Amino acid sequence: MGKQLSLNIPEGCYEKAQMGLELLKSAVMELAKANPNGIGNADVAKYLGLQSDYGGGSKDYLSYSILGLLMKEGRLQRSPTGRRHIACGE
């Protein structure tokens, strides 16, 4: 096993990240509610300006991760085809 590195976490850094995450999840939910037929990961990335600009092979994982968190929270569900995400009744 490799050597465990400790990181310095500036005060308030975690809280800022969590506030930002809540804002992102809220924006995705608004988009999903406005589109009752569902939204795809590409829709979220494109229309909310979350497209990856990373030089590697991975694309749009931020939007995909947000969709996954919302599904885990029970706020989104996959469409019958599994290609879109639909807002659950609130």
Output the pTM of the full model.
0.86
The DSSP element (H or E) to which 87 belongs, if any, is: strand 85-87
Helices (H), 1-90: 13-34, 41-47, 61-72
Q: Note the CATH architecture for domain 13-87.
A: Orthogonal Bundle (1.10)
Read off the pLDDT of residues 51-67 as tens digits, 9 standing for 90 and up: 988 766 667 899 999 99
Read off the pLDDT of residues 13-27 as tens digits, 9 standing for 90 and up: 999 999 999 999 999
